[in-house]
Structure 1
């Protein structure tokens, strides 16, 4: 199948309307209909059920929609990476690093300093993302490398190196009674009537139901906590960002968080390899003085 045919089919499958799909693609409806019919004949399978003005997917069409989206995303990612490689070959190399806004700030600063001291280092553009966006940018070719956090971020399809593993703390407004405890459990926090836990976005962009505020990144969340509107469970390293208005208490039953540096498994970029080497040097035990 040609990528043009795949784009045509995905547009119709997502819109479930030939007219809207044609408008989205910037073509007339008749050639779009003929292209889908040719594709069905070549595959020997019906992809769409047509009933009057209504269009729905067959089982085969649902499979092709899922696979087609992945294939088109891979093509677009290849285009982006190829263009960056071409710029590098023309003497304009650069790396794009994606990381969650407000997270791993100390580690990121140390990584950029360590890599910058390498004589072969290239400029690094840092993209600060919302929750869960780093992996998407890495998959679609927008980013060359990313800092991810297990168990919250998926790393399937990436090569990774562990950088650090840490416990988690409850971040609460300073002066709140729970801040005086030596430690808490997740059940303790879930039972607080005045400090609901935040609601992070689901993969589809919606939010789960609940009383907590809707948040997309840690700096936004810290503001809600300072206002006394929420509490949160965050990695231990967040302590370096806390101001006097916030306290942190260890959460004894929260899963430990591992920060990893991730890159596409098929990457052959010398610049990516250099950045990964710099990151792994940071994770090595330092000699005692």
Structure 2
């Protein structure tokens, strides 16, 4: 069994036609036929049910099960190629979600610059959900990720760096602004909300809190831009739900703690693939971000 045979096999599962697979790989049809026969002999199980003409195929249950393993092998091989290529270039593909990139990561840049690491970063800025997928598929090497609970994924190595509450934010002249000891979500059922778009962790937190409180909040506007959200709240266009990490004095906003049991917090972790062998530069970056928080 070799990689080329596995590629033939996976394509045949998709195409279900020997001649199409042969054309796709630029080989003679008997090459594909013999490769599949070798796999079936080695595995001791039929992988396809062939029609009389051998043109149309049905994948057996064993064949479908084997294809799941083949896909994993081919995917891991592709990830290995990507990681080795980046290691040669001494570059680090680094995932950075918008809120973390704008309000948390800048504190690290002096140390990264002094260590010669800042210029080695190729930053991918997406929401944490998308970056998690990219990390799992080996598209990026490392990421800072936002979550509502510590990340628990067997395929990742992670370290929590910091936590910050997610609170209700209002304009200073809003009637709720004096309730600095906190509010319950039930108190807000008639308030117009301005929220972040679904790719933000905040959307998940907002859904959890409203469901737990039995409230169907009135969302008047959704945005991808944290700055726009804060500006609209400051102008009393509505209230919002935001981590205190993203608040700055110049925003002129009031943050109110949520009194509900299990009020969410915004957790920032650094993460990489568990089976990823970090380059020396990657190890140094991990150390700067994670080790001091152990």
Whether TM-score is above 0.5 comes out as yes
Q: 1:243 to 1:73 in 2, by over 3 A?
A: farther
The residue number in structure 2 matching 1:158 is: 156
Which one of the candidate residues 222, 244, 262 is aligned to 1:236?
244
Instruction: Give the Cα separation in 2 of the matches to 1:258 and 1:222.
Output: 20
Alignment of 1:24-173 (within 5 A): 25-27=24-26, 30=29, 34=33, 35-48=35-48, 57-87=59-89, 93-118=90-115, 123-150=120-147, 151=149, 155-170=153-168
Q: 1:214: how far off?
A: 11
What does residue 282 of structure 2 align with? 272
CA change 1:196–1:119 in 2 (3 A) is closer
Q: Distance in 1 between matches of 2:131 and 2:113?
A: 22
Name the residue aligned to 1:256: 265
The answer to whether the 8 Å contact 2:165/2:244 transfers is yes
Deviation at 1:128, TM superposition (A): 0.6
TM superposition shift of 1:163: 1.0
In 2, Cα distance between equivalents of 1:214 and 1:67: 45
Q: How does 1:217-232 map to 2 (within 5 A)?
A: 219-220=224-225, 223=228
1:138-170 alpha-carbon deviations (Å, 9 max, x no partner): 233332211123438554222222210122124
Higher helix content, 1 or 2? 2
TM-score, normalised relative to structure 1: 0.68
SS in 2 for 1:132: helix
Assess, with a 3 A threshold, how the Cα gap between structure 1 residues 154 and 133 changes in structure 2: closer, same or farther: farther
5+ residue gaps, structure 1: 88-92, 202-207, 285-289
Gaps of 5+ in 2: 200-206, 208-215
8 A Cα contact 2:98 2:127, kept in partner: yes
SS of the residue corresponding to residue 162 of structure 1 reads strand
- Residues 155 and 262 of structure 1 are in contact (CA less than 8 Å); yes or no, is this contact kept in structure 2? no
Whether the 8 Å contact between 1:198 and 1:230 is mirrored in structure 2 is no
- How has the CA–CA distance of structure 1 residues 195 and 83 changed in structure 2, closer, same or farther, with 3 Å as cutoff? same
Q: Distance in 2 between the 1:242 and 1:46 partners?
A: 69
Aligned length: 268
Q: Tell me whether 158-167 or 177-186 shows the greater mean CA deviation.
A: 177-186
Q: In 2, are the aligned partners of 1:18 and 1:32 still within 8 Å (CA)?
A: no
Compared with structure 1, are the counterparts of its residues 238 and 225 closer, same or farther at alpha carbon in structure 2 (3 Å cutoff)? closer
Q: Structure 1's 18 and 251: CA in aligned 2 closer, same or farther, altered over 3 A?
A: farther
CA RMSD of aligned residues (A): 4.6
